[in-house]
Amino acid sequence: MATSDRLPNRLLRYAESRKNLTGCAAGLAGLALTLTGAAGALWPLVVVGLYAAGALIAPPERPDTPCFPDAGEQLDALRADFTKLRAYLAEVELPPAARERVDELAELLDALLAPGWVSDPEQLHVLARAVRQDVPEAVDTFVRTRWWSRVTPGAEPPERHLERQLSALREEASAIADELHEAEALRQQTHTRYLEERNR
């Protein structure tokens, strides 16, 4: 059944293909030769031969280029995921020092994810990794480890690792903020020079 369903689709695809259309055009040229009498008694072979030649010389079919979301669409999806992350972080019970670091990181991420700032693919990748993987994993690992540390006292407090992880993530996000600040400062300086030179 699957083979019979696929056969009409294949035939339809071939009928619309460049090879078939080029072959048909060449076959029509063969019919025109037949009508003028140039093909003679072997006109069916001429028509079939020209169709085959046209199908062979036609350029191969090329699949459509995949359409990926642009930076704006990626940012919209990332902001939606960040909203989910903030709701999750609000529910998690954290020690005061870790809560402070989480809130600072969330504020920084919120500012970076505001429309109109980040468009560089590498920066978007870093932010997406932080929102979708690093922050949730750091907090979830802390919650799980804290539960086990109650069962096995004397181990290193899990909040130390969480605080270190959050600090590392904040440094990473701060580096992006610094790059954006430098780019805007350079843009401002360039515009100032342009205005000053224009008025000379």
Mean pLDDT of the residues in the chain: 85
Above pLDDT 90, what percent of the chain? Answer: 44
Q: Give per-residue burial for 20-50: e unless 16+ CB within 10 Å, then b.
A: bebbeebbeebeebbeeeebeeebeebbeeb
**pLDDT, tens only, 22-56:** 888 888 888 887 788 776 777 888 888 888 888 88
Above pLDDT 70, what percent of the chain? Answer: 92
The model's pTM is: 0.64
**pLDDT, tens only, 48-85:** 888 888 888 877 777 777 776 777 788 899 999 999 99
Query: Token pair of 12, please?
Result: 């339809």
User: According to the model, what pLDDT value does residue 68 have?
Assistant: 67
Side chain identity at residue 150, one-letter code = R
User: According to the model, what pLDDT value does residue 1 have?
Assistant: 45
**pLDDT, tens only, 136-193:** 999 999 999 887 776 566 667 788 999 999 999 999 999 999 999 999 999 999 999 9
